[in-house]
Structure 1
Amino acid sequence: MAGDTYALVLLSAAKWLTDLGIVWLVGVCAFRVVADRVGASDVGPGELERRLTRHAGLALALLFVAVAARLYAQTYSSFGLEEPVTGDLLRLVAEQTRWGGRWIWQSAAVVVGAPAVAMVAARMRWGWQLLGAAAVAIVGTAPMTGHALAYSGGALIPMALQIGHLLAAGVWLGTLFVMLSAGLRSLRHGAGDGAAAVSRLVDRFSPVALTAAATLAGTGVWTAYLYVDEIPQLWETVYGRVLLLKTGLFGVTAGLGAYNWKRVRPLLGAAGGADQLRRSGTAELLVALTLLAVTAWLVHLPMPGE
């Protein structure tokens, strides 16, 4: 593999891990709000709290790995084609480059999440609020090392769009993942009719997911409008073609989500409905994983005109 291609793979993989961690962490925080509205008797509060705490810790651990991977990938991209990546080079990129200064803010936001997760695990007051604030800070610093600050028309609007885009992805896809892997299982430990409880939980999640998906689409279209000057650039440039691929994957993901909403959700009150939701929801998430990977690739491609 050529050095430039390997550098792009490293950068994209590190960004993909970062986005996965962010979407996951936002999903944990958002799902807790959704579950609170369902009622503790339905979801087995003790079991749910343990599962959500575990998810929060794992998401944060992934983010720690991801920020370190991004530093390594950026250092390799800058120096690794000519010499081995060393600790001195890592410090140089982190401390003496513009990219490194922005990366430090991102890393600091992740570090703030550690005591928040500890507070949540200890059932301390304001633990979840602090974790939610840390998640917002992580999302807020994420666009600092992407295309937003390089946009010639000013960074404010692209930054706001990227923050909204990432938050919406977390609220939709991250919450779906947490609901399938933690929420549905916790219902087994609650009182009452499990099938009815699943139906109530999904009913609470559905309008949240629809709003988040619409926000994701809107911010994505607006961002594309800013970065793509002419329509032919969509098929004449690598950036445009990858953007079209991303759009297609988003359409598939949204289509699966619509299927779950219109066809699977009405069946949740019956036996086997939760299993069907788990299968179709997993398919939606698998496509979303590919969508996030393509997005990570897109971020490291030159915009049309560059």
Structure 2
Amino acid sequence: MRWRRTVLGATTKSPDETLTRWTCTLAAAAALLAAAAAAPPAWAHARIVSTTPGDGAVLASAPSRVTIRFDDTVRVLGGTTVVANSDKRPVTAGKPSASGRVVTIPLRKLRDGDYTVRWSALSNDGHTVDGVFAFAVGAGRAPPSAALTAGGTNLTRSVISRWFFFAGLLVAVGVVALFVPLAWRPALRAAGAGQDEGALWPLAFVGFFLAFLGAASLIPHHNPGTTRFGLAYEVGGIVAIVGATLSAIALVDRRLGRGAFLCALALLPIPSVAGHALDRGQWPRPLNVVADILHVGAAAIWIGGLLALAIGLPRAARKLSAEQRARFTAALVPRLSAIALVSVAVIAVTGLIRALSELSAVSQLWGSGYGRALVVKTGLLVLLVSLGWINRSRLVPRLRLEALRRNVAVELVLLAGLVIAVAFLTDLAPGRQLARAVVSPQAPQPIADPPPGATVLAGESGDRAVGLAILPGGNLQATVLGPDDNGVDGLSVAFRAGGRTVGATPCGSGCYRAGGRIDARRVTVLLGSSVVAFAIPGRTQPASPLVAEARRAFAGLRSLVIHERLASSPRDKITTTFRIVAPDRLTYVTSAGARAVVIGAQRWDADGKGPLVRSAQTPLQLPGAEWGPRWLNARALGWAKVRGRRARLVSFFDPRLPGWFELAVDPSTHRPLELKMTAAAHFMHHRYTNFNQPMQIVAPR
């Protein structure tokens, strides 16, 4: 081992041997990177939970809208439309809109036929997702096929933009925030030189400016402020341009380098905040965020050290004397070696954490785009390891500073390729997400009956029915029923009462249970941007016998008039007046002008002022109650005034429909005075009058 004595009499290792050890360290670190760092930070995509109508559904009646539900917040993008398969013309009635996790596409009145939905949405994490599905209108039609294809996303632009941002972040953070205070300044002090950092500020400027270009290119596409991704990169772009400005000024006034240092630290967590580490379902999210930030920081130190060795060291050496250069090199390279080893250890641990979070099976390495991108990245790392091994076995015995810089330059080129691989990886769905995803949206399922003993109430949210079950003990459970008679899953549901908001967890098809006990007289169910308010009754009592008596009393009437208001959504409603005479006669007139007469097996119908047209009719058994012979959860809610008469309020659930009922019953006659029914796209209010009064219904002439 060769030693040399300095002017001050201190004994140090020769620069050549120090450089040899540093090169060996680089090779060993690259080998560890190949084994442990194959899991860079990854970002996920929103996934479809359900669609209404479902893919391939054949509907008996035309829907008024298409709804697409995701597992994360989305923003609807251009190109989202619904077309008729016959002529490819749009059938939308307005612009598509997004509310939280739900995209809604309003429709015109559809005729029988096949239709295709093409959608495109921006995830909260910044990824664009799209797809197509088809549905048909008209009973008995064959299942349809999509007549459009999903629109592609601009992958090239996204990858280039991400490469600029990641490369710039790694350079700026590695040089300014981490490398300068950890290695450069201590080495200058050891060499007895002034605190000259001018050789590194141009690198910092380039890094910040690249990060700004990447963020500026991503922001217009992702609409800043509307998603977590857009907001994070808007902040990142501002921080990057401020850091670039301060780095440029620091060339003449090093005091402003402190500001650039703070900008670099602020830039470091941007990818973790914008990306997959903050997605729901991560285990646990704080650990993933910390691991993500440490992973990026360790990689930045690695790249910052290589850049300082390849570019910064030669520039700084020009201003130093021969003795200072020797001391500076002897102090800098060992520090680089120690920092590199710590960085590799951090990358290994955090890479393992991220890999366990993002991959759920080894087969995902070759069975998914994300896995194949990992294989490409690993191949580049193997090439880097091979180069390090050649350096160690063939070049080390004769290695000089110039030779080391050339090999470091090659390593930097390979690392630039790795950043490209990372840019691709961040635009692909990770393996664990693909394992949870489904090829097509999960088919909606019917709702379950309310829990036994619960008091049930109901409300409306657009074209969806919302049932509330009040369980003994104050626990609440909401059920959301869609217009297709199935539960609506994937909603963001919470309960608000007394100034407190309680989250909900899924408990079945369309079912959401409050995460805690709620004791209040008024409760609001939050469904994304929609709210449904409920007045919670006090103590309730079983009322099944009262419902049975009301059903018998209604069936025993000789005549009555029903004033009906029926709606399928807030914009679609109609009123009708029915005159009924037992056992099989009725007339009705609607607010739209339609009218009819039914007598036994004959009926006559007319629109507006046109003539009544005769047709056949299955004989009716009148009057008949709207609810079936089997009901659940009948509870007496209290008393109310109905047209000046005291009435008993009863609520119950009819599993046949399914639907929720609220009935006002005359306590003396047991006759229903009013009825409210809440079912799938069927919100009905009845007011009953003219019980058993003389009434004649005759055939028209």
TM (normalized to structure 1)?
A: 0.79
Q: Name the larger-Rg structure.
A: 2
User: Residues 147-166 of structure 1: matches in 2 within 5 Å?
Assistant: 147-150=276-279, 152-153=281-282, 154-166=284-296
Shift of 1:181: 0.8
CA contact (8 A) 2:190 2:331 kept: no
Paired letter, 2:402: D
For 2:172 and 2:192, how far apart are their aligned partners in 1?
Answer: 20
| 1:168 corresponds to which of 293, 298, 306 | 298
Paired letter, 1:286: V
| 1:51 corresponds to which of 176, 196, 199 | 199
For 2:395 and 2:194, how far apart are their aligned partners in 1?
Answer: 26
Q: How many residues get paired?
A: 280
Shift of 1:151: 5.1
| 1:191 corresponds to which of 321, 340, 345 | 321
| 1:201 corresponds to which of 328, 332, 354 | 332
Shift of 1:138: 0.4
Partner in structure 2 of residue 88 of structure 1: none
| 1:32 corresponds to which of 180, 185, 205 | 180
Q: Deviations over 1:147-169 (max 9, x none)?
A: 22235225322222221111111
Greater helix proportion: 1
Partner in structure 1 of residue 416 of structure 2: 289
Greater strand proportion: 2
TM (normalized to structure 2)?
A: 0.37
For 1:111 and 1:265, how far apart are their aligned partners in 2?
Answer: 41
Shift of 1:4: 2.6
CA contact (8 A) 1:43 1:183 kept: no
Q: Deviations over 1:17-69 (max 9, x none)?
A: 111101111222233231222235849647x5222222222222222211111
RMSD of aligned C-alpha atoms?
Answer: 2.9
Tell me: CA distance 1:228–1:297, structure 2 relative to 1, closer, same or farther (3 Å): same
User: Residues 65-84 of structure 1: matches in 2 within 5 Å?
Assistant: 65-72=213-220, 74-75=221-222
For 1:220 and 1:12, how far apart are their aligned partners in 2?
Answer: 21
CA contact (8 A) 1:149 1:155 kept: yes
CA contact (8 A) 1:168 1:216 kept: yes
For 1:211 and 1:248, how far apart are their aligned partners in 2?
Answer: 23
For 1:113 and 1:23, how far apart are their aligned partners in 2?
Answer: 13
The more displaced of 282-291 and 97-106 is: 97-106
User: Residues 1-306 of structure 1: matches in 2 within 5 Å?
Assistant: 4=152, 7-29=154-176, 30-33=178-181, 34-40=183-189, 42=191, 45=194, 48-72=196-220, 74-75=221-222, 93-114=223-244, 116-117=246-247, 120-125=250-255, 127-150=256-279, 152-153=281-282, 154-193=284-323, 194=325, 197-253=328-384, 256=387, 273-304=400-431, 305=434, 306=437
Shift of 1:119: 5.7
For 1:32 and 1:288, how far apart are their aligned partners in 2?
Answer: 21
* Unaligned stretches of 5+ residues in structure 2: 1-149, 438-701
CA contact (8 A) 2:309 2:405 kept: no
Q: Secondary structure at the match of 1:95?
A: coil
The more displaced of 224-233 and 145-154 is: 145-154
Tell me: CA distance 1:236–1:259, structure 2 relative to 1, closer, same or farther (3 Å): same
Shift of 1:182: 1.6
Q: Secondary structure at the match of 2:307?
A: helix
For 2:292 and 2:426, how far apart are their aligned partners in 1?
Answer: 11
Shift of 1:226: 0.6
Tell me: CA distance 1:291–1:215, structure 2 relative to 1, closer, same or farther (3 Å): same
Q: Secondary structure at the match of 2:266?
A: helix
Tell me: CA distance 1:13–1:155, structure 2 relative to 1, closer, same or farther (3 Å): farther
Paired letter, 2:428: L
Percent identity between the two aligned chains: 28
Tell me: CA distance 1:200–1:99, structure 2 relative to 1, closer, same or farther (3 Å): closer
Shift of 1:109: 2.8
Shift of 1:98: 3.8
CA contact (8 A) 2:187 2:332 kept: yes
Tell me: CA distance 1:212–1:17, structure 2 relative to 1, closer, same or farther (3 Å): same
Paired letter, 1:225: L
Tell me: CA distance 1:195–1:107, structure 2 relative to 1, closer, same or farther (3 Å): same
CA contact (8 A) 2:292 2:350 kept: yes
Q: Secondary structure at the match of 1:152?
A: coil
For 1:44 and 1:262, how far apart are their aligned partners in 2?
Answer: 35
For 1:228 and 1:151, how far apart are their aligned partners in 2?
Answer: 16
Shift of 1:257: 5.3
Shift of 1:112: 4.2
Tell me: CA distance 1:245–1:185, structure 2 relative to 1, closer, same or farther (3 Å): same
Shift of 1:183: 1.6
For 2:293 and 2:168, how far apart are their aligned partners in 1?
Answer: 15
CA contact (8 A) 1:24 1:175 kept: no
Q: Deviations over 1:168-225 (max 9, x none)?
A: 1110112211321122232132112446643442222111112112222322222111
CA contact (8 A) 1:20 1:292 kept: yes
Paired letter, 1:66: G
Q: Which has the higher contact order (CA 8 A, sep 6+)?
A: 1
CA contact (8 A) 1:43 1:189 kept: no
The more displaced of 178-187 and 146-155 is: 146-155
For 1:43 and 1:250, how far apart are their aligned partners in 2?
Answer: 38
Paired letter, 1:205: L
* Unaligned stretches of 5+ residues in structure 1: 76-92
Shift of 1:70: 1.6
For 1:257 and 1:157, how far apart are their aligned partners in 2?
Answer: 33
CA contact (8 A) 1:27 1:177 kept: no
For 1:251 and 1:135, how far apart are their aligned partners in 2?
Answer: 30
